[in-house]
């Protein structure tokens, strides 16, 4: 059950020794993540479309419509997804992976899942080229499908104008050198090696992919904190990634900036803020900020509650619980060491709940639970 939930939610946390299981099972896990990246509803929409399909697709976080109708949008996304899978598999094969490993890693990198055929993940190969290919696939997976469509059509100026893409670049430009500096000062001796490790691990955490090249047992807590922050932020909205999503964090920061600016200007001053989506400029109005703020607040409540429960059930430290539950809730897949074959069942249940809440849009799920509760209440009263 844990591996299935981790696969369909594209989390990548695992309690298995992959060296002891069959290739068929490894393919099954990878294929679950590949389909989970699209979303279960998105996959089913390939075959069945009805009046509720759009609501269900929105519930999985696919907020942008790439074509005039849902059927064409789904087919276009699947075509893009499959094209990148074939290119990624070919690139891995040329870099020295065998065919089986190439296919599995391409599926799991694009879905920002992180299941690997090797216990050491990408670190097993000790190849800068394989790491670079993985980074490219992870960035593709964490990018909004609508923005990817602009890129595939050669509309580079429009692609780079998208606020989420710019914000992604800004975060990486700040987090990678900072993490490399912390690692160089406290964990590794060479600056180039520290930068290479930080480059891969930060992108893996921010894209919520969960691949790794090193373990984190010897990492300083400052570097672990930076990875936790990346996992909480997460990838692009309308992509295969999890977390709060870049757009929501960007809107919160823009809202804070606009609030501070208004406090220093006369009350009669009227201003209007915009942000750029792949479809064009969009007004940042009060309703949008209110919905974003409520989502972020709810997300952190769940994160704090899950961290507390994980400390109780796994008997671990605060940092360990914060890291692994951020990984579960953000559908990342990285672990500081407490998730494995010896993890207590209650702790795995807490993590599975986090994965499901992180993969689905929280408000939709809570609204569904509330509806079920009200119907049960009415039925009992009758």
What's the CA angle centered on 10, arms 7 and 13, to 5 degrees? 65
- Distance from C-alpha of 259 to C-alpha of 257, rounded to nearest angstrom: 5
Q: 311 vs 376, which has greater pLDDT?
A: 311
Q: What confidence category does residue 43 fall into, taking pLDDT thresholds of 50, 70 and 90?
A: low
Is 71's pLDDT higher than 80?
A: no
pLDDT, tens digit (0-9, with 9 covering 90-100), for 213-236: 998 888 999 999 999 999 999 988
Residue 240's pLDDT is what?
A: 76
pLDDT, mean over the chain: 86
Residue 382's pLDDT is what?
A: 75
Is 267's pLDDT higher than 70?
A: no
Question: Could you tell me what percent of the chain has a pLDDT over 90?
Answer: 47
| CB-CB neighbours of 316 under 10 Å | 20
Residue burial 162-196, b: 16+ Cβ < 10 Å; e: rest: bbbbebbeebbeebbeebbbbbbeeebeeeeebbb
Residue 153's pLDDT is what?
A: 83
Mean pLDDT of the region 132-138: 95
Residue 379's pLDDT is what?
A: 83
DSSP 277-304: ETTEEEE--HHHHHHHHHHHHHHHHHHH
pLDDT, tens digit (0-9, with 9 covering 90-100), for 288-326: 888 889 889 999 999 999 999 999 999 999 999 999 999
Residue 150's pLDDT is what?
A: 85
Residue 59's pLDDT is what?
A: 56
* Range from 184-188, 221-225, 247-251, 322-326 carrying the lowest mean pLDDT: 184-188
- Distance from C-alpha of 18 to C-alpha of 105, rounded to nearest angstrom: 14
Q: 117 vs 280, which has greater pLDDT?
A: 117
Residue 68's pLDDT is what?
A: 53
pTM exceeding the 0.85 threshold for the entire prediction: yes
């Amino acid at each position: 059950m844990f591996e299935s939930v981790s696969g369909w939610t594209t989390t990548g946390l695992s309690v298995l020794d992959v060296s002891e299981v069959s290739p068929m099972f490894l393919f099954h896990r990878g294929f679950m993540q590949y389909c989970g990246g699209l979303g279960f509803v998105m996959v089913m929409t390939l075959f069945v479309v009805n009046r509720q399909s759009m609501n269900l697709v929105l519930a999985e976080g696919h907020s942008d419509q790439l074509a005039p109708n849902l059927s064409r949008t789904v087919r276009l996304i699947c075509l893009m997804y499959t094209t990148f899978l074939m290119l990624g598999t070919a690139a891995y094969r040329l870099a020295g992976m065998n065919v089986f490993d190439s296919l599995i890693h391409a599926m799991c990198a694009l879905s920002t899942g992180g299941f690997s055929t090797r216990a050491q993940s990408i670190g097993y190969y000790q190849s800068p080229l394989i790491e670079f290919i993985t980074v490219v696939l992870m960035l593709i997976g964490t990018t909004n499908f609508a923005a990817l469509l602009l890129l595939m059509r050669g509309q580079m100026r429009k692609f780079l104008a998208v606020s989420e893409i710019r914000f992604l670049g800004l975060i990486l430009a700040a987090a990678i050198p900072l993490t490399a500096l912390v690692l160089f000062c406290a964990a590794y001796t060479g600056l180039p090696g520290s930068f290479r490790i930080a480059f891969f691990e930060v992108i893996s955490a921010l894209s919520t992919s969960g691949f790794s090249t090193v373990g984190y047992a010897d990492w300083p807590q400052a570097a672990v904190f930076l990875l936790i922050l990346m996992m909480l932020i997460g990838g692009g909205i309308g992509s295969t990634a999890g977390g709060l999503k870049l757009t929501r964090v960007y809107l919160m920061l823009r809202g804070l900036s606009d609030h501070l600016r208004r406090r220093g200007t006369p009350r009669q001053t009227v201003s209007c803020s915009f942000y750029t989506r792949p479809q064009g400029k969009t007004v940042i109005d009060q309703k949008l900020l209110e919905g974003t703020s409520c989502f972020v607040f709810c997300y952190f409540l769940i994160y704090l509650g899950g961290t507390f429960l994980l400390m109780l059930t796994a008997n671990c430290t605060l940092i360990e619980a914060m890291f692994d539950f951020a990984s579960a809730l953000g559908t990342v897949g990285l672990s500081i060491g407490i998730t494995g074959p010896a993890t207590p069942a209650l702790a795995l249940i807490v993590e599975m709940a986090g994965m499901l809440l992180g993969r689905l849009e929280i408000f939709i799920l809570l609204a569904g639970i509330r509806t079920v509760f009200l119907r049960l209440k009415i039925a009992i009263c009758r």
